[in-house]
């Protein structure tokens, strides 16, 4: 397999994630990039994109890690993903639901900094 410069792989992977309506798993990404790069390079690129504040991780109900684009408020120093993620039980898609932010009430002296909600059910495409 021909080695491709990491920047080309990074650009292609970021484009895939940015243009996807659903969060993508490593295997989804590997399938879409084909022979552009190997699976280890994909892991490294995903890690780098997350550190740069361009993507975030979402763990679905099956324990598979998916990757979605970050909002404009994210940066290398601050990620903010306090929104819902919807995991379809039929097609297994994971979707960020940005316009719904649950209210959290914690006991005294607990301070919430970040949270991750995954709701499981049936998406509009499968219902």
Non-local CB neighbours of 60 within 8 Å, separated by 6+ positions: 23, 66, 85, 87, 92, 94, 118
Give residue 76's pLDDT band: very low, low, confident or very high (50, 70, 90).
low
Confidence (pLDDT) at 81: 65
Cα–Cα distance between 38 and 22 in angstroms, integer?
22
Confidence (pLDDT) at 74: 65
Work out the mean pLDDT of the chain and round it to a whole number: 85
Average pLDDT over residues 110-125: 86
Q: Is residue 6 pLDDT above 70, yes or no? A: no
Cα–Cα distance between 76 and 52 in angstroms, integer?
4
> Tell me, which fold does domain 6-121 have in CATH?
Arc Repressor Mutant, subunit A (1.10.10)
Confidence (pLDDT) at 100: 74
């Amino acid at each position: 397999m021909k080695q491709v410069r990491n920047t080309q792989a990074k650009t292609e992977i970021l484009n895939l994630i940015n243009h996807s309506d659903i969060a993508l798993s490593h295997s989804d990404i590997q399938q879409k990039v084909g022979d552009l790069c190997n699976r280890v390079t994909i892991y490294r690129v995903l890690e780098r994109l997350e550190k740069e504040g361009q993507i975030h991780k979402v763990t679905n109900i099956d324990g598979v890690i998916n990757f979605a684009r970050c909002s404009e408020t994210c940066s290398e120093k601050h990620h903010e993903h306090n929104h819902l993620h919807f995991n379809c039980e039929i097609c297994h898609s994971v979707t960020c639901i940005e316009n719904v932010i649950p209210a959290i009430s914690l006991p005294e002296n607990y301070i919430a900094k970040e949270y991750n909600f995954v709701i499981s059910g049936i998406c509009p495409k499968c219902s």
